[in-house]
Structure 1
């Protein structure tokens, strides 16, 4: 397979910092997808990012901790809570490699209207749980509650040894922003964080219909699963594409 050509380091984040948060106990699952099958899901000004003619979809459950506005202290109400996102990989004419969220389920109802308004992402309220049933295992469970009931995801992984990501895995995880429609225009929302510390992961259980609910058709076998203890991430001010 041809190796992706991109810079795996983030551009300096221009002030001000809008959000500061930690992404913890993250699992990454990916499948190939045909770019033509997903092209209609991207906002104007960006398109499916590809390697050797294929794009990818990701299923990424994790815990979010320590949300802070700007460089202030963490907001007490939010604490630690679970999220699961279904995402695609995007690039724009300026060469910025990002993600487009097809769905993002969260256990905090208050996050839903705020994130939909500020970041234009399709947040949903869900009943969620993240647990560690054994030292080397992580279990994620979610079922959507609002604005549409039903789609669910259950995942259990066994965490293995630390690994150096392949060029494709680095391309999938080293994403420094998102593309979204905010206020009727496509915007780039930049973020910055340290490189992911990654471990190999074995999928012990996977039952989900959130990918089908997003209208995404995988076109091949799932890639190697990965897990990370997490990183601290900062988000900058959205930038207009048009």
Structure 2
């Protein structure tokens, strides 16, 4: 009789999370996955760590700044997704995406993000991500529209698995380039990995990319249902942070357990 699978241990107390840095802490010479994130808008609301705790993977706790954590709604264009060093596929690897994310830290002190949902407009990548890797991808109708040189609108409406029709509409006007991000802007964007559950195991997936070119942005329109659909309370008021970036290329390394042990 095969042994009974054991659940991941409860997260150990985090005594000294890694410092927040604007540059990736490690190089990834042989990436598992490559892609570029283009034309990004970051919206963030403050949140109570107790509200997000039940939604975090085993082995992690909410990452906080001055006792507060954050919920992010990030809309962008995925470009040239490629696996194992192969060049990105022009059609299947290019699509709009909008994700709902939380901020996490594990017992090893590594800060990361946790994706509660990832709406994307290409069915095959959604099916691979959802069925193959158990990531919360959702197939949605999506569009990114540019009005002049400084205004961007992102729209989405869910197709499968739902809730059908749930979506978002976000319009921002891009402002001045940020010379030196604030402590909060670093906290929200300088994330060098993701925590998640793959094949039933909690893991940390590191990434590396150039320093973010960030702009402040004015939120002109925000009509969204994705945060509540992800299991969170409805955001209270306007976002506390609105940022834009033209984007960066990114490389993902091999996964590791939250305690720091590489998976086989």
Q: TM-score, normalised by structure 1?
A: 0.93
> What is residue 170 of structure 2 aligned with on the other side?
155
- The structure whose Rg is larger is 2
Does the CA contact (< 8 Å) of 2:20 and 2:186 recur in 1? no
Which segment drifts farther, 83-92 or 117-126?
117-126
Work out whether 1:58 is the aligned partner of 2:72: yes
Does the CA contact (< 8 Å) of 1:87 and 1:102 recur in 2? yes
Q: TM-score, normalised by structure 2?
A: 0.86
> What is residue 94 of structure 1 aligned with on the other side?
108
Work out whether 1:183 is the aligned partner of 2:196: no
> What is residue 37 of structure 1 aligned with on the other side?
51
Structure 2: gaps of 5 or more residues? 1-16, 260-264
Superposition RMSD on alpha carbons, in Å? 1.7
Structure 1: gaps of 5 or more residues? none
CA distance, structure 2, for counterparts of residue 116 and residue 214 of structure 1: 15
Does the CA contact (< 8 Å) of 1:6 and 1:171 recur in 2? no
CA distance, structure 1, for counterparts of residue 26 and residue 102 of structure 2: 24
Q: CA deviation at 1:79?
A: 4.5
Instruction: Kindly provide the CA deviation profile for residues 194-228 of structure 1, in whole angstroms up to 9, marking residues without a partner as x.
Output: 11101110011110111111121235652131100
Alignment of 1:39-188 (within 5 A): 39-117=53-131, 119-148=133-162, 149-163=164-178, 164-188=180-204
CA distance, structure 2, for counterparts of residue 219 and residue 32 of structure 1: 8
CA distance change for structure 1 residues 96 and 219 in 2, over 3 Å: closer, same or farther?
farther
Work out whether 1:200 is the aligned partner of 2:213: no
Instruction: Kindly provide the CA deviation profile for residues 23-76 of structure 1, in whole angstroms up to 9, marking residues without a partner as x.
Output: 000000000000011100011100100111110000000001111112221223
Does the CA contact (< 8 Å) of 2:45 and 2:239 recur in 1? yes
CA distance, structure 2, for counterparts of residue 210 and residue 19 of structure 1: 26
Q: CA deviation at 1:129?
A: 0.1
Number of aligned pairs? 239
Work out whether 1:6 is the aligned partner of 2:22: no
Q: CA deviation at 1:240?
A: 2.0
> What is residue 248 of structure 2 aligned with on the other side?
231
> What is residue 38 of structure 2 aligned with on the other side?
24
Q: Which has the higher strand share?
A: 1
CA distance, structure 1, for counterparts of residue 70 and residue 241 of structure 2: 13
